[in-house]
């Protein structure tokens, strides 16, 4: 068992995380479902699995905050990122119509990504722990429907009543593959993620850091703040940039930044995988 690659993901089977992990593993890989993202990080940190795929951002709903916080706490590295188009469908028991349905069930993220559709059909909603658990619920209740992917329709023998019901056509979830080891290879199309904490609350503190990136001609693709949990007004800044930490202009700039902040953590350098959704 030790020699088999084991990759953790946010389960159970049939979720979009399950769909995503199937895109990056081969038939010899063991995929292991977990009930929470924190449990995934803990298991990886304890060497119970080799790698893990976790959601980090959705183009409609924004960042997955528990993942950002966990990346700050655990000494783990991002090795790859996967961009998965999210296609939501309305699934019902065989033979049921929209007139038969009184409640729409799914994970709260899926419900949020289909707000307009749900409002238009004027049905009650029921948030559940996962899309897969919602699908199981629908198999037992004929007046319920689930918002989910095609994997769920096959696994639970449900009809697809309506397809592509998400509010935005470009609905994409970004997943990151993490492990204990950094990705050393420079591909030329890499991104690097870091988290920093500034030295106190002084005017222009963040600008001083951003100017170093601009002076080095480093393109930043994302900046996001999160409470540091060390008091009001104290923040961490998550920054994504184009380039690999092993490239000289990136490493020199990060060294210069490290001397000006109270904390800098490199979350990883990685390439992006883009795939089609179900």
Torsion-angle region of 95 (φ positive above 0: left; ψ -120 to 50: alpha; else: beta): left
What band does 273 get if pLDDT is binned at 50, 70 and 90? Answer: confident
**Cα 4 to Cα 272: distance, rounded to the nearest angstrom:** 24
Exposed, middle or buried by CB within 10 Å (0-12, 13-18, 19+), for 103? middle
pLDDT for 264 beyond 90 = yes
**Cα 138 to Cα 91: distance, rounded to the nearest angstrom:** 9
Q: Mind spelling out the 3-state secondary structure of 155-219? A: HCCCEEEECCCCCCCCCEEEEEEEECCCCCCCCCCEEEEEEEEECCCCCCHHHHHHHHHHHCCCC
What band does 115 get if pLDDT is binned at 50, 70 and 90? Answer: very high
At 192 the pLDDT is 98
| Token code pair at residue 102 | 């009184």
At 12 the pLDDT is 86
Q: 56-109: per-residue pLDDT in tens?
A: 999 888 999 999 999 999 999 999 999 999 899 999 999 999 999 999 999 988
| Token code pair at residue 17 | 């995380």
Q: 198-257: per-residue pLDDT in tens?
A: 987 666 788 999 999 999 999 999 999 998 777 666 789 999 999 999 999 999 999 999
Class of domain 89-162: alpha beta
At 251 the pLDDT is 97
Q: What is the DSSP letter of 110?
A: H
Q: How many degrees, rounded to 5, is the angle at CA 209 between CA 203 and CA 212?
A: 135
Q: 118-142: per-residue pLDDT in tens?
A: 999 999 999 998 888 999 999 999 9
At 233 the pLDDT is 61
Domain boundaries, the chain: 6-85+171-179, 89-162, 190-270
- Give, for 5, the enclosing helix (H) or strand (E): none
- pLDDT greater at residue 227 or residue 268: 268
At 2 the pLDDT is 56
At 127 the pLDDT is 94
Q: 150-188: per-residue pLDDT in tens?
A: 989 999 999 999 999 999 888 899 999 999 999 999 999
6-85+171-179 and 190-270 share one fold? no
What band does 36 get if pLDDT is binned at 50, 70 and 90? Answer: very high
The pLDDT > 90 percentage for the chain reads: 76
Q: Which CATH number fits domain 190-270: 3.30.70.260, 3.30.450.20, 3.40.50.300, 3.30.200.20?
A: 3.30.70.260
The pLDDT > 70 percentage for the chain reads: 95
| CATH, range 6-85+171-179 | 3.40.190.10
């Amino acid at each position: 068992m030790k020699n088999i690659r084991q990759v953790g993901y946010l389960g159970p089977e049939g979720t979009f995380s399950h769909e995503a992990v199937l895109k990056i593993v081969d038939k010899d890989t063991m995929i292991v479902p977990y009930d929470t993202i924190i449990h995934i990080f803990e298991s990886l940190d304890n060497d119970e699995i080799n790698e893990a795929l976790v959601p980090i951002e959705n183009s409609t709903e924004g960042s997955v905050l528990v993942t950002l916080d966990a990346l700050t706490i655990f000494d783990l590295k991002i090795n790859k990122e996967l961009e998965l188009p999210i296609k939501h469908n309305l699934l019902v028991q065989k033979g049921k119509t929209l007139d038969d349905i009184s409640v729409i069930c799914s994970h709260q993220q899926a419900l949020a990504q289909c707000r307009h559709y749900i409002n238009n059909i004027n049905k009650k909603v029921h948030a559940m722990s996962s899309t897969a658990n919602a699908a199981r619920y629908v198999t037992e209740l004929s007046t319920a429907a689930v918002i989910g992917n095609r994997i769920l329709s096959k696994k639970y023998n449900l009809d697809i009543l309506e397809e592509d019901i998400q509010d935005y056509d470009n609905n994409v979830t970004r997943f990151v593959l993490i492990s204990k080891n950094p990705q050393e290879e420079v591909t030329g199309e890499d991104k690097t993620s870091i988290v920093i904490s500034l030295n106190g609350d002084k005017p222009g503190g963040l600008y001083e850091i951003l100017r170093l990136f601009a002076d080095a001609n480093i393109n930043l693709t994302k900046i996001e703040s999160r409470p540091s949990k060390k008091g009001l007004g104290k923040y961490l800044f998550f920054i994504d940039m184009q380039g690999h930490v092993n490239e000289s202009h990136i490493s020199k700039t990060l060294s210069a930044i490290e001397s000006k902040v109270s904390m800098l953590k490199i979350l990883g350098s990685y390439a992006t995988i883009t795939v089609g959704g179900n």
